[in-house]
Amino acid sequence: MGKYNKEEKEILSLLNNQDIADIKLVGNAIQPIVFKAGEAALLVDCANHKAMLFFPVRKPYKHEDRKTFAKLVSLLTFVETFEKKGLIYLQPSNAGCELFFYENFKFSFLHGIQMNGIIKDAISQREHIEYDVDENITINIQGIQVPKTKSDILYITKDGSRIMQSTDVSILYDRINKFLCCRAFPTSDLSRFIDNGIALTKKSGVSNHLDMLSQVS
């Protein structure tokens, strides 16, 4: 029997126990489990088919970007496998706006604000999305002088300090849009699958859930 780690078990339980009258987008529903504050976040620009994954800024560098990317790929495979086995039905949201998946994000949309001449997006009272800018060069945007951006890199700041940095994962946009920017409706087969025994383990491998799924007809 395949083994599930704690995070995977929590996702399964959450998908199975949703309020049918208030089923959120998968990415929003699993925010407290996958996109934890200070650990990971995902910004999806549905209008332009782009996606930015945020990873922790730490010293010394320990390949946090690669680890966070690997977890995202594992998550997409996890949801995809359940959909293929008929354990969940996915309803596209057809969102045409920006979606942001992050534990501390409680709004419907990112709100742009101006702070000290710099345009930022508000996440929470203490956290913001900040652009990589050159404060010595300004440009005029709708009558406001703002620093010119140096790159496409984004940062999440907390109380003014950078705690997370983005990497472009638009190569995964189609899969992100299909498996996270959608609503997942559980089937009766999912309940039976869970009742038949999910072995909880501390193992944290990427594919540790696939063996059990292969036994589901």
State the pTM of this model.
0.82
Average pLDDT value for the chain: 83
Percent of the chain exceeding pLDDT 90 equals 53
**Which three-class secondary structure string do you get for 40-90?**
CEEEEECCCCEEEEEEECCCCCCCHHHHHHHHHHHHHHHHHHHHHCCCEEE
The pLDDT of 187-216, averaged and rounded, is 58
Tokens of 207: 């594919």
H helix or E strand, kind and range, residue 138:
strand 127-141
Percent of the chain exceeding pLDDT 70 equals 79
Cα 79 from Cα 26, distance rounded (Å) = 9
Residue 20: pLDDT band (50, 70, 90) is confident
Hey, CA dihedral for 217, 203, 44, 167, is it positive or negative? negative
52 residue type, one letter: M
Terminal-residue alpha carbon distance, the chain: 14
Cα 122 from Cα 124, distance rounded (Å) = 6
Q: Give the pLDDT score at 61.
A: 86
Give the SS3 label for residue 171: helix
Tokens of 172: 């995964």
Q: Write out pLDDT tens, residues 75-104.
A: 999 999 999 999 999 999 887 788 999 999
Task: Answer yes or no: is pLDDT of 56 > 90.
Answer: yes
Q: Write out pLDDT tens, residues 112-126.
A: 766 655 667 889 889
Q: Write out pLDDT tens, residues 147-156.
A: 666 778 999 9
Q: Write out pLDDT tens, residues 57-83.
A: 988 888 999 999 999 999 999 999 999
Tokens of 126: 């203490």
Q: Give the pLDDT score at 75.
A: 95
Hey, CA dihedral for 65, 67, 70, 71, is it positive or negative? negative
